[in-house]
Amino acid sequence: MKSKIKKAIFPVAGLGTRFLPATKSIPKEMLPLVDRPLVQYAVDEAREAGIDSFLFVSALGKSAIPDYFDKHPNLEAKLHANGSDELLTKLQNSNIPSGSTAYVRQGEPLGLGHAVGCARNFVDNDEYFAVLLPDDVIKAKPGCLKQMVDAWEDTQASIVGTMEVARDQVGNYGILDLESAQGRLAKARGMVEKPAPDESPSNHAIIGRYILSPHVMQLISTTKPGVGNEIQLTDAINAEAASGRGVYGYQFDGHRYDCGSMAGFLKATVDFGLDRPELKDELLDFLRETLAEFDKVKS
């Protein structure tokens, strides 16, 4: 097996129906959180973790994504000529160097497992790879994937990112069945997709970050449609755990926003906005005034 994780897969072929009608013509992954599209946060997190090859599993209507990561020579020349160095740096930081990205198409949205399987020719059968879902935006230092890569150095086995959720929330997630736990790392017997609270094996929910063994890629090809008649990534990871090769959950240190939902997206916008010194005071004043207004109306 190769000793480093250098490749990441970004499944961006979903329909994004929760953001209709905006997603009629804008891919969900291109919706901006403050001034960067969601997909940029995932790419930056992957870069911080040492990833140097980026594969997007894309679909019809998503061509804004490859355009976004391209170099824009005219715009760069203009900003350079204007002396807009700060903007130029921002712009250049959003480029991915030529030859480091690849795009494959998922002809139909047949599920996350199917989307990852579309990238089968991208990973060698002796290398682990990362998968990042860009609609999960994670605020963490170091970044969530970096934390997981560090844990992988010890386990050398598949790892899924996890967080603890309230019992009444387990039905919204894939949940780990834990065999043993040590610190942030837990060995999993397997995982269950969206269990009822009283049947849930734990409250460790899977988030959109994975480090997967090449075997998982092979297992996807034999995975039958599961929940929602979709080919589920969790079913392939379950098969990996059943094979005895070992699957771990890593409880990352940080905060995850579900930017695939409107509420999560709005919360992230406020939090990331407050992080920006140039926006903080104005935004705080606005939030305080708005809350005071709300309280007045209620009383």
Binding region for ligand UTP (CB under 6 A): 11-18, 28, 57, 106, 109-112, 114-115, 133-135, 260
At its nearest, how many Å lie between ligand UTP and the CB of residue 85?
34
Kindly tell me which of 106 and 203 has the beta carbon lying closer to ligand UTP: 106
Kindly tell me which of 109 and 195 has the beta carbon lying closer to ligand UTP: 109
H or E element in which residue 163 lies: strand 158-164
Q: How far is Cα 201 from Cα 204, in angstroms, rounded to an integer? A: 9
Q: Within 13 A of 290's CA, how many CA atoms are on the CB side? A: 6
At its nearest, how many Å lie between ligand UTP and the CB of residue 259?
10
Task: Give one DSSP letter per residue of 96-121, joined into a string.
Answer: --TTSEEEEE-SS---HHHHHHTTTT
At its nearest, how many Å lie between ligand UTP and the CB of residue 210?
11
Q: How far is Cα 104 from Cα 135, in angstroms, rounded to an integer? A: 19
At its nearest, how many Å lie between ligand UTP and the CB of residue 131?
9
Helices (H), the chain: 38-48, 64-69, 73-82, 85-93, 112-117, 144-155, 214-220, 233-242, 262-274, 277-298
At its nearest, how many Å lie between ligand UTP and the CB of residue 207?
11
Kindly tell me which of 46 and 79 has the beta carbon lying closer to ligand UTP: 46
Q: Which residues contact 154 (CB under 8 A, 6 or more apart)?
A: 185
Kindly tell me which of 115 and 165 has the beta carbon lying closer to ligand UTP: 115
Q: How far is Cα 30 from Cα 106, in angstroms, rounded to an integer? A: 18
Kindly tell me which of 131 and 178 has the beta carbon lying closer to ligand UTP: 131
At its nearest, how many Å lie between ligand UTP and the CB of residue 243?
24
Measuring CA to CA, how many Å separate 299 from each of 172, 198, 287, 289, 293? 34, 38, 18, 16, 10
**The tokens of 204 are what?**
């460790």
Kindly tell me which of 174 and 190 has the beta carbon lying closer to ligand UTP: 174
At its nearest, how many Å lie between ligand UTP and the CB of residue 258?
9
At its nearest, how many Å lie between ligand UTP and the CB of residue 165?
17
Kindly tell me which of 12 and 149 has the beta carbon lying closer to ligand UTP: 12
**Which of helix, strand or coil describes residue 142?**
coil
CB 247 within 8 Å of CB 240:
yes
The residue nearest ligand UTP at its CB is: 14
Kindly tell me which of 111 and 214 has the beta carbon lying closer to ligand UTP: 111
Q: What DSSP designation does 127 have?
A: -
**The tokens of 7 are what?**
């490749």
